[in-house]
Amino acid sequence: MRLEDPKILVELAALGVDHRRGIALSGLTSLGIGGTTDLLRITRHDSIAPLVGLLAANGIPYKFLGGGSNLLVADGDLPWVVLQLVAPDSDIVLEGNLAHVDAAADLGRTVTFCAKHDLGGMEGLIGVPGTVGGALRMNAGAYGMQIGTYVREVKVFRAAARAIEILRGHQISFEYRHTSFAPDDMMLAVTLELPAKPYKEILQGIRICNEKRRSSQPLGQKSAGCIFKNPPGASAGRLIDELGLKNLHVGDARVSDRHANFFVNAGRASAKDMLALISRVRDGVQQAFGVALENEVVVWNA
């Protein structure tokens, strides 16, 4: 979708929105898949309410992008624009064992910054790409921990009310790759309360998690991490592996030979290829084990 109405362009500029035309989302997603649309980069939290109002008044649909590491985006000319927060210069501020973090901050950098200041707990998140906002939305986690455990409060823009609210941790439910945020809530910032731990000890935990990832995941290849959530009491990757589906492919979309729940773009895969691969694997698992696999990857259809 292209924004061309001069009146809209003037208003975007007045809101300080950085409007980038015809951006290929394949360049902004870790899968390297996605068509083109206009990207609106938001530099000030107070511009979000008028921006969302402007888009609604003009019937312009939008989606919200973090770091693009858990997304499968449709091919071609996309019928919505994309909003993305730009991190401020100082995106992590520490106060005792609280970390005040902008939602656009890089997750890995946040984990290491806190670690260097003797704040731990998030070692398992090292190696999870993307932003802190995306991690909150997905309740990202690994190796027995999840980010939600450490959330004290979240600053969120509630599109339904067009207002910014502060939610306390106990008002939000964080479950396995699921949160109680409304689908159109935008996380703007979070305060994490982290356990004090000596840097050396945290570093040791980080090294162990890094090693586990290196030995089991196709890290050099384009992926969105796990495609499916683990069904209760089972591992989606193990079920797919047991069916002998490693290396199954549709075009360049391929089930990784290292980790069967990672599907990789081994060249020039399209969203159509990847969706076809996902449905073949899901159908196979359903037929063989009677288990309905649910997507962990977020699909943005055209």
Ligand X SMILES: Cc1cc2nc3c(=O)[nH]c(=O)nc-3n(C[C@H](O)[C@H](O)[C@H](O)COP(=O)(O)OP(=O)(O)OC[C@H]3O[C@@H](n4cnc5c(N)ncnc54)[C@H](O)[C@@H]3O)c2cc1C
Touching ligand X, residues 208-227 (CB under 6 A): 223-225
Min separation Cβ 141 and ligand X, Å: 5
CB contact at 8 A, 264 and 254? yes
Task: Pick from 17, 51, 62, 64 the residue near ligand X by CB under 6 A.
Answer: 64
Min separation Cβ 98 and ligand X, Å: 19
Touching ligand X, residues 128-147 (CB under 6 A): 128-131, 133-135, 137-138, 140-142
| Closer by beta carbon to ligand X, 165 or else 283 | 165
| Closer by beta carbon to ligand X, 85 or else 245 | 85
Residues with catalytic function: 177, 226
Min separation Cβ 298 and ligand X, Å: 4
- Distance CA(260)–CA(191), nearest Å, equals 35
CB contact at 8 A, 45 and 188? yes
Q: Check binding of 71 to ligand X (CB under 6 A).
A: yes
Min separation Cβ 256 and ligand X, Å: 10
The binding track of 6-35 with respect to ligand X, each residue x by CB under 6 A or -, is: ------------------------x-----
- Number of CB atoms found within 10 A of residue 13's CB: 11
| Closer by beta carbon to ligand X, 162 or else 196 | 162
Touching ligand X, residues 238-297 (CB under 6 A): none
| Closer by beta carbon to ligand X, 129 or else 237 | 129
Min separation Cβ 297 and ligand X, Å: 8
CA atoms within 13 A on the CB side of 238: 5
Task: Pick from 103, 236, 253, 275 the residue near ligand X by CB under 6 A.
Answer: 103
Tell me which residues touch ligand X (CB under 6 A).
30, 64-71, 103, 128-131, 133-135, 137-138, 140-142, 186-187, 223-225, 298
